[in-house]
Amino acid sequence: MKKIFTYVVPALVLFSIGCSDGKKNEENKTVAEADSTTSEIQHIGSIEFIDPAFETLVDKGAGMELLAEGFEWSEGPVWVEEGNYLLFSDIPPNSIYKWSEEDSLSLYLKPSGYTGQSERKGEPGSNGLLITPSGALLLCQHGDRRIALMDAPLYNPAPNYSTLIDNYEGKRLNSPNDAVYHPNGDLFFTDPPYGLEGNVDDPAKEIPFQGVYRLDTEGQIHLQTDTLTRPNGIAFSPDGKILYVANSDGPKAWYSAFDLDENGNAVNGRIFYDATSLMGKEKGAPDGMVVDSKGNVWATGPGGVIVFNAEGKVIGKLKTGQATANCTLDTGEKYLYITADMYLLRLKLKG
């Protein structure tokens, strides 16, 4: 019998943060603090224990902690081990934020995804973020339609970028969305049309499909599949043998799995879990994901975060109550960090 644990949000003490340019959309960000009279942590949503295996990952008394709110569409979280802090994108305002236990929330980088001079509507900012093997910040940039590296150290960020890849066979990428490194150093990424102002019908769209690609360590790009209608979140199993890709298209809302052949390319595509029947019943769609060291897949989707074991069985759900974009783990898998629309959340794990 599954048990549902629901947490009520206590009164919040909210602190606004600003930035040097004083723009309104930056001033509206708030940090959730415990009420000084109660020392309670603010939680939102509920946790659904579906299989006993989930109890080995999450304590029954745990809750999703509200760390900050006021974002337009939070996405792409990445944990920075050197410094112990989280970076994540807020796509519409073209910004990246930093959160740490010691310093709370601050604006980290702007512009993050669109560096042009003309006005840009839609979702121009960065989406997925990674730390490269050499310690640089890698960004999936919607507005600039490329995957780029920040040409500045992590401890002293600056909006200076170099292009890692921006085209396939001479045609501009749509708007790179999310990326993951294979253990051998190859970079796999998804390229849906969400960052284009006109989405899939944008006249500036040059590639007739929405692809999943592999950028090898020699800088050569290889198409992995053009069959997914809206490829989105992407992750690898711990051994690097299975590639997971979320498809966030309403009529085809599922998570796919691929094997890798001897050349490192994705083959044998199949549906790992079909969430189409859940669409419209709860907020959200298949989106970003992370795989823990045990092979469990923490995948954002309808309702929040759906947690699967390596066989594709749903063992638990984190019901955020919001359209939830992505999640990531910190070093040692002590916490799961979740970007859920206007919220930044975290869940303490058993580790």
The residue type at 40: E
pLDDT digits (tens, 9 = 90+) for 245-265: 999 999 999 999 999 999 999
pLDDT (tens digit, 9 = 90+) per residue, 190-223?
999 999 999 999 999 999 999 999 999 999 999 9
- Asked whether residue 24 carries a pLDDT value surpassing 90, the answer given is no
Domain edges within the chain: 3-348
Q: pLDDT confidence of 9, banded at 50, 70, 90?
A: very low
Q: What is the pLDDT of residues 135-144, one digit of tens each?
A: 999 999 999 9
Read out DSSP for 158-198?
-S-EEEEE-EETTEEPS----EEE-TTS-EEEEE-STTSTT
| CATH code for the structural domain at 3-348 | 2.120.10.30
Task: List, for residues 66-119, the tens digit of each pLDDT value.
Answer: 999 999 999 999 999 999 999 999 999 999 999 999 999 999 999 999 999 999
18, pLDDT greater than 60: no
Span 279-293, pLDDT tens digits: 999 999 999 999 999
Cα(272)–Cα(322) distance, rounded to whole angstroms?
23
